[in-house]
Amino acid sequence: MPADTAAIDTARDALIAVDVQPDFMPGGALPVPGGDAVVPVVNRLLDLFAVAAATQDWHPAGHLSFASSHPGAAPFSRVVAPYGEQTLWPDHCIQGTPGAALHPGLRAERFAAVLRKGWRRDVDSYSAFTENDRKTPTGLAGWLRDQGIRRVFLAGLATDFCVGWSGLDALDHGFGVVLVPDACRGIGIPAADGGARDSTAEMLRKLEARGAAFVPSGDLRPGG
């Protein structure tokens, strides 16, 4: 990690906009409080980066992560999937529906790559790098490396799930990670460990412990 986390090196730094999709906006199928506020922030951030990618949560109908696929199960409860524990969600981001599109207010033409994830019916994928079985790669790490990227700046939704897991996996892949707090929002459910922290606070704690940096968008600048 360069000493100056706030200076963007356009040859080595990439912006990743995670799951900025209508279904995660207030009023959407799986609303993230304040989710719409990240759109203008991501749009401003795009001016600082030469390499930017976006992810789209992209599930088939009947996806294993949908509570509706488990008779009697409520959204936000947990089940044990063949690959381990899986939180169940309201149906969301169904392939080809308007709620699964990139948010129409995004400057999407600036994304060099758009990666869809969660498209296997029986495996969810929070992370942009590795699916929830914790072994199937999405290919994003290789793409970033092929562009010469060494550090990723994370924006989008939701801090406690797809942004957070993407950050942890980016660290595991050897990338530096900078989370831009005002460009992210969390869902905020009771944390899986049953502790006092909610899922957003718990994820931020993990990211910090593993070496992620947190730099607000207003502090980022060209150079470095």
Would you please indicate which residues are annotated as catalytic (active-site) residues?
A: 19, 117, 162
Q: Tell which one of 49, 58, 66, 161 touches ligand VGL (CB under 6 A).
A: 161
Q: Are 17 and 142 in contact (CB under 8 A)?
A: no
Q: Count residues binding ligand VGL (CB under 6 A).
A: 9
Q: Residue for token digits 């409080």?
A: 33
Binding mask 41-60 for Zn ion (x = CB under 5 A): ----------------x---
User: 185, 32 in Cβ contact below 8 A?
Assistant: yes
Can you list the positions of beta strands (E) in the chain?
Answer: 7-8, 13-18, 51-57, 78-81, 84-87, 113-117, 151-157, 176-185, 213-214, 221-222
Q: How far is the CB of 171 from Zn ion (least distance, A)?
A: 22
Closest CA to 118 of 70, 171, 165, 186: 165
162 binds ligand VGL (CB under 6 A): yes
Check binding of 19 to ligand VGL (CB under 6 A): yes
Q: Which 107-136 residues touch Zn ion, going by CB under 5 A?
A: 118
Q: Which of 57, 91, 169, 202 binds ligand VGL (CB under 6 A)?
A: 57
Nearest approach in angstroms of CB 138 to ligand VGL is 14
Identity of residue 29: A
Nearest distance in Å: CB 18, ligand VGL? 6
How far apart, in whole angstroms, are the C-alpha atoms of residue 163 and residue 19? 8
Q: Are strands 84-87 and 78-81 parallel, antiparallel or unpaired?
A: antiparallel
Residue 158 sits in the site that holds ligand VGL (CB under 6 A):
yes
Among the residues of the chain, which ranges form H helices? 38-45, 140-146, 164-172, 199-210
Taking the least distance from each CB to ligand VGL, the nearer of 38 and 45 is: 38
Query: Which of 157, 168, 204, 207 touches ligand VGL (CB under 6 A)?
Result: 157
Q: Which is nearer to ligand VGL, 8 or 32 (CB)?
A: 32
Which of the listed partners (ligand VGL, Zn ion, none) does 158 bind, with a CB threshold of 5 to 8 Å by partner kind?
Answer: ligand VGL
User: To the nearest whole angstrom, how small is the minimum distance from the Cβ of residue 115 to ligand VGL?
Assistant: 13
Residue 107: Cβ-neighbour burial (10 angstroms; 0-12, 13-18, 19+)? middle
Residues found near Zn ion in the complex (CB under 5 A)? 57, 118
